[in-house]
Amino acid sequence: MSKVAGIHNKSPETYPQAPTKSNVLQTLRGVNASAPITGSFASILSPFISFIPSMAGAYATVMVSGIIQSPSPDGEMTLRIVLDPSGSDIVELTSIFEVQAASTPVPFSMVVETASLGAIAPQSIDVQAKTTSGSGTATAADISVVVIVTSA
Amino acid sequence: MKIAGLKGRSPETYPSHRASGLVYTNSEVYTDPVSLTTTPANLFGAGSFAASPGDRVIVMYSGVISASSGSILVAISVVLDDATTLYTYEFEVAASNLPLPFSLVFETPAALAATPDPHAITILGSTVSGTATVAANGSIVLISTPS
């Protein structure tokens, strides 16, 4: 069959559409065996996730899981996912988990998608924790984080 | 017997990828309870999940564990090719606080090696000490990104 001008990609029978292009720009990961939790927010990653999106207007889906254990005293722990922790410090999500020494370690997980990351520029994502009361200590462990960067 | 088009795949144990652009997803729900002991048990019966050489794989799993009596420490692991434990996390299941929902997310640390083809990813659960527990309603989603 001869080709017909002007119908490129327009006739599904004779000109199948081009394969769908993935909008996943990149994936990033991090793991950390253990991190202390105190009365002030501090990173439980080491190091935090850094990347430069390959196009403007990208989004980042952040997923983190792990456990919290050994509270002293028992109490609530506050975890948060932070965009640009060394700069504008945008808190994307905050969650509170109760941890009791009598029933630890406690699993936790969080997932959030950022708003558009804007222009092409270095980005960083951190997961931070503190004791909600602002005193005492605990330990986060077996922390795993995955970030999926997608275009709009 | 060889079947054309099934190279490297066993449909019974390796569910097929579902293509989505350059990303492949694979998923399964396993509702049957799985008894956990100190010997690691597959949380999806006998099933594993296929991944191709060169891929990086994001594993997302959610499930529920309950303890029959007393508090017990359980370990959940992501295992590659029935040989390499990529990730393990341990948490406590309290009989007074059951059933306990849990989830994990993990990405393989590097592109998967050239062999075997395909690779097999398995989720295992075990108890750190004696008493059996039960895991149920497991759900897994894998996202494979070719390098």
Query: What's the CATH code of the domain at B121?
Result: 2.60.120.1340
Task: Using the predicted structure, report yes or no on whether residue B143 has a pLDDT greater than 50.
Answer: yes
Q: Which among B88, B97, B107 has CB closest to A142? A: B88
- Per-residue model confidence (pLDDT) at position B4: 41
Q: Scanning the structure block, which residue is given the tokens 């969080």? A: A110
CA distance A24 to A14: 29
Q: Are A152 and A53 in contact (CB under 8 A)?
A: no
Task: Using the predicted structure, report yes or no on whether residue A59 has a pLDDT greater than 90.
Answer: yes
Instruction: State the number of CA atoms in the 13 A half-sphere of B97 facing the CB.
Output: 16
- Per-residue model confidence (pLDDT) at position B62: 93
What pLDDT, in 10s, does the model give residues B31-42? 899 999 999 999
The answer to whether residue A145 sits within a structural domain is yes
Using the Cβ of B110 and the Cβ atoms of chain A, whether some distance falls under 8 Å is answered with no
- Give percent of chain A with pLDDT exceeding 90: 74
- CA A68 from chain center: how many Å? 18
* Count of C-beta atoms within a 10 Å radius of residue A83: 20
Provide the domain limits for residue B105.
25-146
What three-state secondary structure class fits B97?
Answer: helix
Task: Using the predicted structure, report yes or no on whether residue B85 has a pLDDT greater than 90.
Answer: yes
The answer to whether residue B142 sits within a structural domain is yes
Q: Which residues of A touch B89 (CB under 8 A)?
A: 65-67, 107, 141-142, 144
Which of A4-8, A23-27, B79-83, B109-113 is predicted least confidently? A4-8
The answer to whether residue A13 sits within a structural domain is no
The answer to whether residue B119 sits within a structural domain is yes
Task: Verify cis geometry, omega within 30 degrees of 0, for the bond prior to B109.
Answer: no
Q: Are B99 and B48 in contact (CB under 8 A)?
A: no
How many folded domains does chain A comprise? 1
Residue among B109, B97, B77, B123 nearest A106 (CA): B97
Provide the domain limits for residue A59.
24-150
Using the Cβ of B21 and the Cβ atoms of chain A, whether some distance falls under 8 Å is answered with yes
Q: Which residues pair with B50 in a beta bridge?
A: B120
The answer to whether residue B2 sits within a structural domain is no
The answer to whether residue A81 sits within a structural domain is yes
The answer to whether residue A100 sits within a structural domain is yes
The answer to whether residue B84 sits within a structural domain is yes
- Give percent of chain A with pLDDT exceeding 70: 85
The answer to whether residue B67 sits within a structural domain is yes
Rounded mean pLDDT of B20-38?
84
Mean pLDDT in chain B? 83
How many folded domains does chain B comprise? 1
Domain of residue A107, CATH code: 2.60.120.1340
Q: Scanning the structure block, which residue is given the tokens 């079947």? A: B3
Residue among A38, A1, A16, A45 nearest A146 (CA): A45
Q: What is the pTM of this model?
A: 0.81
Q: Looking at this predicted complex, what is its ipTM? A: 0.77
